[in-house]
Amino acid sequence: MTVRKRWDDLISPERRLFAARFKARRKELKLTQKAVFEKTGIAISYISNLEKGEVNPSLEIMASLARALEVELAYFFERPPGTSDE
């Protein structure tokens, strides 16, 4: 019998971390997804999918998001203090 994996099980830890850090920073700045769209031109549906870890953003998109959220690109991949790599 073949065991089907859930979509959530297929998301890499790096993509999951990016999604969490992106969403947390957006909320920290009290920006809506629409506001991020207005700053970057990235479609709201794509932003939503980013936050769910459903898409793999290009370097250009990550750089644009970093500028819009006023962080360095590395921010998206740094683990917050007090968290583990698990």
Taking only the tens place, the pLDDT of each residue in 4-62 is 556 566 788 899 999 999 999 999 999 999 999 999 999 999 999 999 999 999 999 99
Residue 86 has pLDDT above 60, yes or no: no
* Cα dihedral 72→77→80→81 (10° resolution): -90
Please give the model's pTM, rounded to 2 decimal places: 0.81
Question: Domains of the chain: which residue ranges?
Answer: 12-71
Q: In this predicted structure, what is the pLDDT of residue 85?
A: 54
pLDDT of residue 23: 96
* Yes or no: domain 12-71 corresponds to CATH 1.10.260.40: yes
